[in-house]
Amino acid sequence: MLLRYRGSEGMLAWAFHRVSGVAIWAFILLHVFDIWLVGVNPDLYNELLSVYASPIGRVVESLLGAALLYHALNGMRVIIMDFWPSMTRYHKQIWYVNWVLFAVIGLPILVQIMAPAFGLAAPFTFGGQ
């Protein structure tokens, strides 16, 4: 199904939704496990954290963020079409608006995540430490 490519926006939107969903599911398995470690083996958790905070870890986090943001925005598109079927007429336009939102929301977050990996910023905290 995924590989029988028809090439329209609706098909692409669906395929990206499925791939990002499965990727996020896989991360949830890892993430619940690492948080479980905080209680039972904090040292191992801290070791895992240094992998997450490494430059490669930051690239993977950025990809995770992209999957999450796409899935969230396209999920809203699905809900709009499911509950207001007349909006299905504009499914392509909603998808394009989603990509604009994806860039506007995603780029600042991408910069914030990746900057420490390039030595462009100290590990940040807006919340005080």
User: Does position 52 bind other proteins by CB under 8 A?
Assistant: yes
* 4, 104, 113, 120: which one binds other proteins (CB under 8 A): 113
DSSP code at position 126: S
CA distance 123 to 129: 11
Scanning residues 5 to 44, which ones bind other proteins (CB under 8 A)? 10, 13-14, 17-18, 21-22, 24-25, 28-29, 32-33, 35-36, 38-39, 42-43
String of b and e for 36-70 (b: at least 16 CB within 10 Å)? ebeeeeeeebeebeeeeeeeebbeebbebebbebb
Structure token pair of residue 32: 């619940």
User: Does position 124 bind other proteins by CB under 8 A?
Assistant: yes
Residues sharing a CB contact under 8 Å with residue 2, sequence separation 6 or more, in sequence order: 15, 18, 19
The size of the interface with other proteins (CB under 8 A), counted in residues, is: 55
Nearer to other proteins, 79 or 103 (CB): 79
3-state secondary structure of 19: helix
Q: Where do contacts with other proteins occur on this chain (CB under 8 A)? A: 1, 10, 13-14, 17-18, 21-22, 24-25, 28-29, 32-33, 35-36, 38-39, 42-43, 45-46, 49-50, 52-53, 57-58, 61, 65, 68-69, 72, 74-79, 81-82, 85, 88, 91, 108-109, 112-113, 116, 123-127, 129
